[in-house]
Amino acid sequence: MKKRLSEEGMDLVFREARTHNAWLNQPVSEETLRQLYDLMKWGPTSANCSPARILFLRTPEAKQRLLPALAPGNVEKTMAAPVTAIIAYDIKFYELLPKLFPHADARSWFTDTPELALTTARRNSSLQARTS
């Protein structure tokens, strides 16, 4: 059975999705963050490599440590946000491939090719991040 994303779903995900610059003055629950992570972990990746790693910053002190890395135009909105997500990638993601992709020796594809591992981590973590 072929499934299709509804027009409303396509609007939400693609046509009307925008970067937000203002936030509601209310916390984001632990449950909501777990749901977000649980959705993100299923994002499409090659060989189920799942290299994305996510860190949720919720305290002013944690977000303060980001200041040196923020562009001036992002400081105010980052500090005002109830939560800031840092999405990165694990360059040794392939260590988990025996569990995530058990039907082939996918780990060996990356152990001796660091440039392939880096490219794969960048590309696939971006796919996972977009899922969220």
Note down the domain range covering 97: 26-131
Residue 81: which of 33, 130, 13 has the closest Cα?
Answer: 33
CATH number of 34's domain: 3.40.109.10
Beta bridge partners of 40: none
Residue 6 within any structural domain of the chain: no
Residue 1 within any structural domain of the chain: no
Residue 21 within any structural domain of the chain: no
> In total, how many domains does the chain have?
1
Residue 9 within any structural domain of the chain: no
Residue 125 within any structural domain of the chain: yes
Q: Mean pLDDT over all residues of the chain? A: 91
Q: What percentage of the chain carries pLDDT values higher than 70?
A: 98
Q: How confident is the model at residue 132 (pLDDT cuts 50, 70, 90)?
A: low
What's the pLDDT at 81?
93
* Measured distance CA(10)–CA(24) in Å, rounded: 24
State mean pLDDT over 108-119: 96
pLDDT tens track for 98-113:
999 999 999 999 999 9
pLDDT tens track for 7-21:
999 998 889 988 877
State mean pLDDT over 50-59: 94
What's the pLDDT at 131?
60
**Cβ atoms within 10 A of the Cβ of 121, count?**
23
